Chains A and B, each alone.
Chain A
Amino acid sequence: MARIVMEDRVWEVKRRMNVLRFLQREGINPEEVLVIINGKVVTEDAVMEPQDQVKILWVLSRG
């Protein structure tokens, strides 16, 4: 299962899934995040495989 973490939110995704599809499903604007799969920054056409560790970084500063 791919484990996807974004701040205090966590998702577990069973099947392989395209990053863009995931972001759109969750209502996340790709312009506002960086996606890191297993420590590597990827573009939104990348695919998350079941064993992947995925981190989504929100890039807009709040302060």
Chain B
Amino acid sequence: MKCKVCKRPAVINLRAQNRGLCEGCFDRYVLDRVEKAIKRFKMFTRKEKVLVAVSGGKDSLGLWDILARLGYNPTGLFVDMGIHRHGHSERSRKVVEAFARSRGLELIVESLADWWGKGIEEIGRRVLCPTCGMAKRYLTNRTAVEGGFHVLCTGHNLDDEAAVLLSNTLNWQVGYLARQSPVLEAWHPRLTRKAKPLVLLTERESALYTILRGIEYMDEPCPYSRGATTLVYKRLLNQVEWRSPGTKQRFYTLFLKNKGLFEGVAREEREGLKECERCGQPTWEGLCAFCRFVEGSHGDRGREVPEGDQVRP
């Protein structure tokens, strides 16, 4: 197959658009798609301070690289949760640090141990994800707010968003549906705007970009990950995509068009919110979920203020 633009050998067949692209034209296509998402969804401008949450995986490192090339001057943030099994946190951190160094990009490293004195594996429970995810979101948001960043970017791609949308729809999670968006405004001074600049790229396109750019990424999932449910939805959608190219994109963008249907749900949820007595974060209780956790009452996590748009891992 040849590139539709310049006739060189194609590296990808974009079946949804009925065209192949060569390496150079695909590179331009990726930069255009991300710039388009940033503009279309009014994510941020070149005058704002941009923070990118980086895990070491292909999507977040690719995103960091793209934003830097587009001139957004992004700072990276790696949150070290202290996952020592299989050297997970250490290895991810090394990958991120090496990338930052090679590109001359600014990197902030936060560590749960600085806040809690130890790593997440020591919570004394077999299932880490709910607490780990809560603490990671808290530290990420807090770093963004206190660092004066206007926006926090994550590497969620179209496959991630479409899979979450399918899951939220199958379970009619109207609260999550109301909040699922490529950009979430900060609705409280202790929160930052959140943006997902890769939403117009499939996971396959994102992976190809990272490979073609020669970015070394962390290929192994967290040893505690039980990401099986999302994976099932992704694979189902890819089966439909193969038979009917463009399905993922239509499913997601038509949902965004019709999102008004769920308006009101998100607003209602915020009624009765207070501020955490210890850190000021919005919460329903006296202390927010993270402060309850570090103060040692993590047997009772409390109710976390829903901010994201999906069922927690």
Residues of A within 8 A of B (CB): 29-34, 40-46, 57, 59-63
Q: DSSP majority for the B interface?
A: helix
Residues of A within 8 A of B1 (CB): 43, 45-46
Say whether, besides A29-B239, A34-B208, A41-B212, A61 and B57 are in contact (CB < 8 Å). Answer: yes
A63 CA to B83 CA, complexed, in Å: 14
> Is B174 on the interface with A (CB-CB < 8 A)?
no
Q: A44-B13, A60-B159, A63-B221 are in contact. Are A29 and B235 (CB under 8 A)?
A: yes
Tell which of B12, B23, B203, B238 touches A61, judged by Cβ atoms closer than 8 Å. Answer: B203
Q: Is the CB of A43 within 8 A of B11?
A: yes
**Contact for B10 among A43, A57, A61, CB less than 8 A:** A43
- Asked if B234 contacts A43 (CB within 8 A), the reply is no
The interface residues of chain B lying within 8 Å CB-to-CB of A57 are: 207, 211
CB-based contact A30/B242 at 8 Å: yes
Which residues on A sit within 8 Å (CB–CB) of B12? 41, 43
**In the bound complex, do residue B211 and residue A60 qualify as a contact, i.e. CB atoms below 8 Å apart?**
no
State whether the Cβ of B222 lies closer than 8 Å to any Cβ in chain A.
Answer: yes
Q: Is B179 in the interface zone, CB < 8 Å from A?
A: no
- Nearest 4 A-B pairs (CB), nearest first? A63-B221, A59-B207, A63-B225, A43-B1
Could you write out 21 A-B pairs with CB less than 8 Å apart?
A29-B238, A29-B242, A31-B241, A31-B242, A34-B204, A34-B211, A40-B9, A40-B11, A41-B11, A43-B1, A43-B10, A44-B13, A57-B211, A60-B159, A60-B235, A61-B57, A61-B58, A61-B203, A63-B57, A63-B221, A63-B227
Q: Which chain A positions have C-beta within 8 A of B59?
A: 61
- Bound Cα distance from A59 to B235, whole angstroms: 11
CB distance from B213 to the nearest CB of A (A): 12
